[in-house]
Structures are given as C-alpha cells and as structure tokens.
Amino acid sequence: MSQINRRGFLAGTAALAAARGALAASPMGTVRGPVQPTWDSLRQHYRYPDWFRDAKLGLWAHWGPQSVPAQGDWYGRFMYMQGHPVYEHHVRTYGHPSVFGMKDIQNLWRGERWDPAALIARYKRVGAKYFMALANHHDNLDCYDSRYHPWNSLRVGPKRDVVGIWERAARRAGLKFGVSNHSAHSWHWYQPAYGYDPVGPKAGVRYDAYSVNRAGGRGQWWNGLDPQQLYTGRHMVVPDGINSVEAMNAWHDAHDGQWIETPPPGDAAYVTHWLLRQADLMAKYKPDLCYMDDTGLPFGPVGLEAAADYYNRSIQWHGKVDVVLTGKKLQPHELGGIVEDVERGFSDRLRAEPWQTDTCIGDWFYNVARLNDRSYKTAEDVIQRLSDVVSKNGNLLLSIPMPGHGALDSEEEKILDDMERWIAINGEAIFASRPWRIYGEGPTRPVAGMKNEEAAKPFTAEDVRFTTRAGALYAQFLKPPGDATIAALASGANAGVVERVTMLGGGPVAHRQDARGLHLGLNGRAPGGFVPVVRIDGRGIA
C-alpha cells in the first residue's frame, strides 16, 4: 500500500470510528444486519436484481441549482476561476464572486415550470423502467428533506422536497426509483470558492466563501444558515501572492482539482456528516438504486459502511438485497459487490456481470448553447448506444438536462418523440432481453473506458448487435443497411437453422442461410426511423 493510500485508509478508518459514535446515538443511523462493511460480505450477499437486468433503460434528472445559469457543468467551481468562460458569465450576469457566490445561485433555483408527473409519464413512454433524481451534487445542496444538512431544497431555492416529489411521481407511474449522491467530492471541488482573482481590479480580493459565516447572515436571505457548512471549510486554500491566471489554474490543477476519494485531512467530522446524510437519504426514500459518483466507494471504510447499511435496509424492505449500488472503475475484488458504472464510455466486450453506462444528450447540467447550436445527441445516437450497451449485458442511464425552471426545451422534446417512436416498434428487442453468445459483429469496435464518447468512431451499416428474448434472436443494425449478411449465423457454424426473419414494424424479410452467413434483403428500411431490428426464429438459434 502506498504512503498516500495508507494515509487515506487510516484517515477513513478514523473517520468511520467517529461516524459510528455519532450514528449510534441517532435513530436515523446506519442499520445493522447480516451484511457487514467489507467487500467479502458485500459479494457474499449481493445478487444482481432481475428487475435491473430486465430494465435496460433509465432516465435521469441531473437537476439542481447549477442548472439555473444554463452554462453547463461544474458552474459552482468554474465561477471561482478567473479566465474561465463561466467566471466571465458570472461576473457579467450576477456580479463578482467575492459578493455574489454559489450560495446565492442556489437560492435562485425555483423550478417554477416543473411538472414532475408529466415528465415521468413522458419518460415512461420513452421506455424508461427506472428514474433517477439528483440528491446532491458537488455544490453540496441536498435536494431533499435533509435531516442533517441545513443547506437543502426546503430551506434554499425551491423550498420543496425535490427528491420526495420525484419519488412519489415515479412510484405512482410504476417505475423503480433511484438517487445519485455526489457530495463526497464537495470538500475539494469547492476550494476555489476560498480563492481570489490573480489579476485585474479585484486582484487578491478573496471570494465569498473565505469570509461569510453564520453571523454574517443577519438581514440576508440566508439568515440562520452557516455558509461554511455549504462550502465545506478551508481544506486546501490557495496561498496569497499568485499573480497570473496561468499560475492560479496550475495550482488548482495540482491540488483541489484532483479526483480525491479520501477524507479531507484532519476533518473526520466531514465524513461523519456525509455518512449521516447518506443514511438519512436511504431511510427516507427507500431508493431502488443509489448512484455514487466515486471510484469504487467513497472514503474507504466509510463507503463500505454506507453500502452495508443500504443492503441491510433492502433486506428489511424486500426480504433480500434487491437494490443497485453503483461505483466506477471497480477493482477485481469489488466486482460482484456493487454494480460497475461507466460514465460516458463504452465496454469493448460482453460482460459476465450486469453493468451500467451513464450519459447525457448534452452537458450534465443544462447548457443553453446545446439548444442554440443544435449539439445535443440525436435520438439515433441514443438508440445506437442503447443497442450496444444492452448487447453487452448493460443498462443505459440517460440524462435529459433540465433548465432551472424545470421544463424541457423544444429540441429535447423532439429527441424524446423520436425515441418514443423507435421504442414503440422495437422495444421487444431491448426490454427483458438477455445477451446472445456474442454481442455483435462489424468493423466499429468502441474502446473501453470512461469519458471517451467524443473520440468514438461513428457506427456503420455493417455494425450489428444481438439480444435474445423468449427463444428469439434479435439483430439490431446500428445503421440501416441495404442488403446485409450476418456472418455469425453461417450454416454449419453451430448457429442453428433459421426458419423465419421478421423486421419489427415491417413484416417478413427475405433471407437465405449458407456457409457465408445469413443473407437478408432489408432494402434500407428502418420502420422506427433508424436502427432497424429483425427478429430471427428457428431451431437452435437463441
């Protein structure tokens, strides 16, 4: 174990001891049960739920106060970094961040046009079998009725239990419900809020996080709240004397800009607070899924404590562990204990264990530039990804960015319309399906890894993906071909005997099976508008 990892593990262990002491006195603390906070115990008790394996598609409202400026991702960090376009937008629109900070942006979030029941109904028509709500992001606002964190959406911004309202709407619609927790990274992500402009008329003037506190709230909208609880405290504050934007950016990149999974140095209380909030979130909303924005689990032993708590609660709720907890870049000993999530990326193989990829049609937080320059993913892009992921034993969690007011824009509505049309025709090839012997064939081989979507080569008419359901094999062509040959179904290759081929939404397909493969006359048809699907029936096929 490296010195850094050893220090992180010891810090996590100390934080866990402190957290357990706090939780023992709390009626909303962690639940004890057969699942222990070790990877061995998680693997022993976990079974991938059938409902998750059947679901295939989830929709995500990655919605919170950072949606308000409509400038895309990580607004609450970039607004404190002079020279960044978000900083420039913030100064033009709201004023200097030494005065008007992220705490104030949070209070602008209103959701005045939000219609959760209508959105959930919309997502269900698109085919979503589960829905995920953002519980908190790195901006450290709990978007729910948080017992342990006063910076929450009942006291700030919309003055409503956003997660609770989503949860009731999703369950009424018959969808599984999930929450995402990103707050383990707030302590380092927010440190630029304690910084300053290195150049210009306000050079050296510290931003609002450096000086605001509970006492300063008298007469302010945030009276009674302590901004230091929001901004997390001075864990890694940039030193005085930096006098260039380049040097300031380099300092942040080398320090608070790292993706850090260990606790803040010398601040076990932060981790205690995180675990209390996580246990509270699980207890209140009983989610079917919990997405952790972390490599593995956050804070070492503390993350394991949170996982065991969640699984033991599931045993109380369902009589078994019937929930999904996700983490990223899982190590071999972690596989089978939680579900691996691949953010904005691909698998290059058919995986033995169910997994999930999460992506978005635009930026995670709403960016009006995506509407103006028409740079959203198209419905065809989304369905290609869905077919590719499902053929490899995965699920697709798709985010549709919502503006601060809560209503989708016209381009997003069109994308959902196009998805809905495709799902209505071809959904039987996706939902409750299982992988075939191989995931597919064709020249385009996505590279495994996270955050590599933009570098991926476009799919072609030779790229086909396979799924099976109820004895039938489905072939999904990622681009509509004229005539097609499926080499994997060549006669004499133990592929079975093809008796009937039907295009979903299009009727019988002329076919011939020989030693080169199964030849199909598709004539460029795509009844769903793109990604045509054929059902193949026969002896020994699926």
Of the CA atoms within 13 Å of residue 119, those in its CB half-sphere come to 27
Q: How high is the pLDDT of residue 14?
A: 59
Model confidence band, residue 10 (pLDDT cutoffs 50, 70, 90):
low
Report the largest interatomic distance among the alpha carbons of the chain, rounded to a whole angstrom. 82
| pLDDT (tens digit per residue) in 529-539 | 999 999 999 99
**pTM, full prediction:** 0.95
Q: How high is the pLDDT of residue 28?
A: 42
Q: 1 pLDDT exceeds 60?
A: no
CA–CA gap between residue 94 and residue 190 (Å, rounded) = 19
Model confidence band, residue 13 (pLDDT cutoffs 50, 70, 90):
low
Q: At 533, which amino acid appears?
A: V
Domain 440-539 has CATH 3.90.550.10: no
Sign of the torsion formed by the C-alpha atoms of 441, 382, 347 and 46: negative
Q: How high is the pLDDT of residue 430?
A: 98
CA–CA gap between residue 103 and residue 108 (Å, rounded) = 9
Q: Which phi and psi (to 5°) does residue 440 adopt? A: 170, -165
Q: Which two tokens stand for residue 130?
A: 């589960």
Residue whose entry in the numeric block shows the structure tokens 């295939």: 56
Q: How high is the pLDDT of residue 8?
A: 47
CATH topology of domain 3-78+113-187+265-343: TIM Barrel (3.20.20)
Of the CA atoms within 13 Å of residue 421, those in its CB half-sphere come to 14
Q: 20 pLDDT exceeds 50?
A: yes
Residues in Cβ contact with 5 at an 8 Å cutoff, skipping those fewer than 6 apart? none
Q: Are 182 and 136 spatial neighbours (Cβ–Cβ below 8 Å)?
A: yes
Listed by start position, the domains of the chain span 3-78+113-187+265-343, 440-539
Edge-first strand listing for the sheet containing 511-514 = 483-486, 517-521, 511-514
Residues in Cβ contact with 373 at an 8 Å cutoff, skipping those fewer than 6 apart? none
CA–CA gap between residue 235 and residue 190 (Å, rounded) = 10
Crossing angle of helices 268-285 and 162-172, in 10° steps, is 30
| pLDDT (tens digit per residue) in 251-263 | 999 999 999 999 9
Average pLDDT, rounded, for the chain: 95
User: Which residue from 203, 206, 205, 209 is spatially nearest to 190, judged by alpha carbons?
Assistant: 209
| pLDDT (tens digit per residue) in 105-123 | 999 999 999 999 999 999 9
User: Which residue from 430, 456, 428, 460 is spatially nearest to 443, judged by alpha carbons?
Assistant: 460
| pLDDT (tens digit per residue) in 349-397 | 999 999 999 999 999 999 999 999 999 999 999 999 999 999 999 999 9
Output the 3-class SS for 453-516. Answer: HHHCCCCCCCCEEEEEECCEEEEEECCCCCEEEEHHHCCCCCCCEEEEEEECCCEECCEEEECC
| pLDDT (tens digit per residue) in 316-343 | 999 999 999 999 999 999 999 999 999 9
Model confidence band, residue 7 (pLDDT cutoffs 50, 70, 90):
very low
Q: Which two tokens stand for residue 489?
A: 């179904």
Q: How high is the pLDDT of residue 495?
A: 81
Interval 286-299 mean pLDDT? 98
Q: Are 539 and 500 spatial neighbours (Cβ–Cβ below 8 Å)?
A: no
What is residue 335's three-state secondary structure?
strand
Residues in Cβ contact with 124 at an 8 Å cutoff, skipping those fewer than 6 apart? 173, 174, 175
| pLDDT (tens digit per residue) in 427-475 | 999 999 999 999 999 999 999 999 999 999 999 999 999 999 999 999 9
| pLDDT (tens digit per residue) in 208-253 | 999 999 999 999 999 999 999 999 999 999 999 999 999 999 999 9
- H/E stretch holding 292: strand 289-295
CA–CA gap between residue 194 and residue 210 (Å, rounded) = 5
Q: Are strands 533-539 and 339-343 parallel, antiparallel or unpaired?
A: unpaired
Crossing angle of helices 3-24 and 301-318, in 10° steps, is 40
Q: How high is the pLDDT of residue 22?
A: 46
CA–CA gap between residue 62 and residue 399 (Å, rounded) = 6
Q: 81 pLDDT exceeds 60?
A: yes
User: Which residue from 365, 374, 364, 373 is spatially nearest to 414, judged by alpha carbons?
Assistant: 374
Segments of 297-444 assigned E as strands? 324-328, 339-343, 355-360, 394-399, 440-441
Q: How high is the pLDDT of residue 223?
A: 97
CA–CA gap between residue 184 and residue 118 (Å, rounded) = 32
Q: How high is the pLDDT of residue 494?
A: 79
Q: Which runs of consecutive H residues, i.e. helices, occur in 29-130?
A: 39-45, 50-55, 75-78, 85-93, 102-108, 116-126
Q: How high is the pLDDT of residue 73?
A: 98
Q: How high is the pLDDT of residue 539?
A: 95
Q: Are 362 and 377 spatial neighbours (Cβ–Cβ below 8 Å)?
A: yes
